[in-house]
Amino acid sequence: MGDGNFELACQIADLIMKQIYQPATPTFSNSGKKRSGELVSCFLLETEDSINSINYIISTSMQLSKIGGGVAVNLSKLRGRGASIKKIDSTASGVLPVLKILENVFDYADQLGMRRGSGVAYLNIFHFDLIDFIDCKKINADEKSRIQTLSIGLIIPDKFLQLATENKDFYIFEPNTIYQKYKVCLSDLNMNEWYDKLAEDKDILKKELSSRAVLTRIAQIQFESGYPYVIYIDNANRQHPLNGLGTIKMSNLCTEIFQLQESSTIGDYGDEDQIRYDVSCNLASLNLVNLLEATNLEEIIDISMRALTAVSDLTSIKNAPSIRKANESFRSVGLGMLNFTGFLLKNNLAYDDPEVLEFADSLFSAINYYSILASSKIAKEKNKSFHNFHLSDYANGKYFKQYLENSYLPKSEKVKELLKNVKIPSQEDWANLQKIVEKNGLYNAYRLAIAPTQSISYLQGATASIQPIIAPIETRLYGNSMTYFPMPFLKKENYHLYKSAYQIDQKKLIDLSATIQKHIDQGISTILYVTNNSTTRDLVKLYLYAHHKGLKSLYYVRTKNLQPNECLMCQA
């Protein structure tokens, strides 16, 4: 990970041994091996509506799964079930058969039996096959339509949530009829601008559904299976610093990666392909407890960004040309966080204490600042910025506006004490950083993303990501063995601060993610925790609240079945 730089390699090793910096599983398990997979954590692919493109996506997914990455595929451009093919009506099979193929691909192509393949398929909520797609995760679905091991996620534009809030019916559209008339794809449309036009167009094949009934159906299936993931695509694009270069279409397997994407056009054999941009990301996390015990946050983030950049520079996946092209153009990384709740417990704070929001706001503004500074230093040293940097909000200064207009310096004495080892940048510091970036550019188009970090948190003896604790002693099945993991820093003296994730007001959890999201250029894996006392109405309210607060995504919904008089405090 030192990319030939011995001093940097020693610095990275030192941070790993001190349990400050933790590479993601693919990087950690494959580094330094003669025969190994790649170091990259995740990949995002988008298929066009052709057999050539579907074949390309299936082949590429298999290649990427083989080398150890989680793969996400956007199927929103595929024509719906019953659509015409070559002007023959009712001949298209829709997205479900492709889901089945992808499920088999990831079951088959693992990394030498060391790590099973894993993938997720995404679909726009306005797609003609919406109901088939979400029903594939129903427990009582028949085997022909049930998807068991492949994850699924919905891409939800603002327009749908607006219609649901107004209790209006909505239309789902067959993508090929849109393309045949307007030469644009469903997944490329801004539905806030296009929806009414498509709804009124008699040439567009469509179905009418109840928006609230669909939201309730999604909630019911999430109670059963935890799926689908939810992507608030307009929130993601509103906060996207690279809108001048392209748009975000989807997310990854863990819903924290948000990068521009443009699908490739695959020709027949002998014809030239038009390879565009898909997405890869190299991930690592900082252990918050050990990070704040150190006194050199700026240096740690600089080393961490260089370690991740080295992974990007060392990666060149020949069998996935759209991934390779994007990596060479954008050098995207995702530095995240773990042991957030462990830090709170260590410092006698409950997860939902009001000081936690102030602490997170100040801390992550600093992490954002120092990651930008590090990327700009790398760009200066290499005399190279990411592709089309001049079209980004970093170059025109828009990205820095919130930091020039607002101070994120800690206000309360408690938070000042927690951050005593950290220099929180002032508005003047941000103004100077803007000038540095305008002059030197940035090497990494994307820098920060907070992944779920379950496995690597165990390695660190830490709590996962920024999420609350599920139980005082967590149990997890690995193969034929059960792992027992007592929560770090939880002891008799501070046990009164402990609340299970299922006891915490989920709006407070969303508030924390929303506070941190302001400072994260990509996204956060946000899990919701509900019990059998919760209703579908409760879950739908959380969808709307998360969107309102600016979250880009919701990951799993985890459900706990409570027995009468059951006490979560006493459970392991």
Mean pLDDT, range 495-506, rounded to an integer? 93
What is the arithmetic mean of pLDDT over 30-54? 84
Same domain, 316 and 292: yes
Q: What is the pLDDT of residue 26?
A: 77
**Contacts for 403 with CB less than 8 Å, ≥ 6 apart:** 365, 369, 425, 427, 430
How many of the other CB atoms lie within 10 Å of CB of 552?
Answer: 29
> Is the predicted pLDDT of residue 565 greater than 60, yes or no?
no
pLDDT band at 482 (very low <50, low <70, confident <90, very high): confident
- For residues 519-545, give the mean pLDDT: 97
* Residues 458, 257, 535, 151, CA torsion sign: negative
Q: Is the pTM of this model over 0.85?
A: yes
Query: How confident is the model at residue 143, as a pLDDT?
Result: 80
More confidently predicted of 291 and 118: 291
Residue 137 has a pLDDT of 94
pLDDT class for 564, splitting at 50, 70, 90? Answer: very low
Q: Are residues 148 and 191 in the same domain?
A: yes
Confidence at residue 562, expressed as pLDDT on a 0 to 100 scale: 57
How much is the pLDDT for 112?
A: 61
Confidence band, pLDDT 50/70/90 cuts, at residue 568: very low
Lowest mean pLDDT among 6-10, 120-124, 400-404: 6-10
**pLDDT above 90: residue 185:** yes
Reduced to 3 states (helix: H, G, I; strand: E, B; else coil), residue 110 is coil
Pair 283, 43: CB distance under 8 Å: no
pLDDT value at 335 more than 60: yes
End-to-end CA, the chain: 38
Give the integer Cα–Cα distance in Å for 184 and 158.
Answer: 19
The answer on 397 and 303 residing in a single domain is yes
Q: Which of 260, 441, 257 is nearest to 334 (CA)?
A: 257
Both 52 and 13 in a single domain? no
Mean pLDDT of the chain: 93
**Predicted pLDDT of residue 572:** 34
Q: Within this chain, do residues 152 and 262 fall inside the same structural domain, yes or no?
A: yes
Residues 56-74: what's their mean pLDDT?
A: 93
The pLDDT value given to residue 571: 36
pLDDT (average), residues 174-200: 96
pLDDT at 545 over 70: yes
CA nearest neighbour of 155 among 206, 205, 103, 95? 95
Same domain, 490 and 455: yes
Q: Is 380 found in the same domain as 447?
A: yes
Choose among 286, 240, 326: nearest CA to 450: 286
Q: Which domain holds residue 486?
A: 1-37+284-526
385 or 67: which leads in pLDDT: 385
Cα 297 from Cα 301, distance rounded (Å): 6
Domain closes at, from 526, 541, 562: 526
Residues 447 and 490 in one domain: yes
Average pLDDT over residues 476-501: 87
332 pLDDT band, cuts 50/70/90, is very high
350 and 467: one domain? yes
Confidence of residue 91 (pLDDT cuts 50, 70, 90): confident
Portion of the chain with pLDDT greater than 90, in percent? 80
Structure token pair of residue 213: 């009934």
pLDDT value at residue 35: 58
pLDDT of residue 116: 72
> Are 315 and 245 within one domain?
no
**What SS3 state is found at 340?**
helix
- Residue 103 pLDDT greater than 60, yes or no: yes
CATH number at residue 167: 3.20.70.20
Give the domain-ending residue among 526, 544, 559: 526
Identify the pLDDT of residue 546: 99
Q: Are 358 and 412 in contact (CB under 8 A)?
A: yes
Count of Cβ atoms closer than 10 Å to residue 561 Cβ:
8
Please name the amino acid found at residue 296.
Answer: N
pLDDT at 511 over 90: yes
Distance CA 107, CA 117 (A): 6
Query: What is the pLDDT averaged over residues 419-446?
Result: 98
Report the percent of the chain where pLDDT is more than 70.
95
Residue 115: the pLDDT is: 63
Which pLDDT band, with edges at 50, 70 and 90, does 69 fall under? confident
State the catalytic residues: 252, 254, 256
Query: Which residue has better confidence, 110 or 512?
Result: 512
Supply 272's token pair. Answer: 């030239």
One domain, residues 232 and 369: no
Phi, psi dihedrals of residue 123, rounded to the nearest 5°: -145, 140
Lowest-confidence pick of 139-143, 182-186, 193-197, 562-566: 562-566
Task: Check residue 4 and give its pLDDT.
Answer: 77
Question: Widest CA span of the chain, in angstroms?
Answer: 72
Q: Decide if pLDDT at 370 tops 60.
A: yes
Q: Per the structure, how many domains does the chain have?
A: 2
Same domain, 446 and 542: no
Q: State the pLDDT at residue 570.
A: 37
Q: What is the mean pLDDT of residues 16-26?
A: 91
What is the pLDDT, as a whole number, of residue 92? 86
Q: Quick one: pLDDT at residue 569?
A: 37
| In contact, 248 and 260? CB cutoff 8 Å | yes
Low-confidence winner among 129-138, 215-224, 527-536, 554-563 (lowest mean pLDDT)? 554-563
